[in-house]
Chains A and B, each alone.
Chain A
Amino acid sequence: MLQFLQQPWPWYIAGPLIGLTVPALLIMGNKNFGISSSLRHVCAACIPAGIDYFKYDWKKEIWNLLFVLGIIIGGFLAVAYLSSGEEIIIHENLRTELKEYGITDFSNALIPADVVSWTQLCSLKGFLLVVLGGFFVGFGTRYAGGCTSGHSIMGISALSWPSLVATICFMIGGFFAANLLIPIILSL
Chain B
Amino acid sequence: MSQSQQEDLKKRELDAMCVNESQLSHPWYHNIKYIFIGVLFGIVFVKAEIVSWFRIQEMFRLQSFHMYGIIGSAIAVGALSIWMIRKFNIKTIYGEDIVIVTKPFNKGVILGGLMFGIGWAITGACPGPLFAQVGTGATVVIVTVLSAILGTWFYGLLRDKLPH
Contacts and interface: CB of A to CB of B under 8 A. Distances in A.
Interface string B63-84: 1111101111111111111101
Contact of B60 (A27, A66, A133, A177): A177
A24 B18 contact: no
A9 B117 contact: no
A26 B98 contact: yes
B27 interface: no
A146 B84 CA distance: 24
Given A141-B152, A148-B128, A94 B136 contact: no
Q: How large is the interface on B (under 10, 10 to 19, 20 to 34, 35 or more residues)?
A: 35 or more
Nearest to B21: A60
> For the side of the interface on A, what is the size category?
35 or more
Contacts of B42: 70-78
A40 B85 CA distance: 29
B112 A140 contact: yes
A48 B46 CA distance: 32
A100 interface: no
16 contacts: A30-B20, A39-B151, A67-B34, A70-B34, A71-B38, A73-B39, A75-B135, A90-B55, A106-B54, A134-B123, A137-B126, A140-B118, A144-B109, A144-B110, A144-B112, A148-B71
Interface of A: 5, 8-33, 35-40, 42-43, 47, 49, 51-54, 56-57, 60-64, 66-79, 82, 88, 90-91, 93-94, 98, 106, 108-112, 116-118, 121, 128-163, 165-179, 181-182, 185
A-B pairs, 7 with minimum CB distance: A70-B38, A74-B42, A173-B117, A75-B135, A143-B112, A19-B77, A138-B151
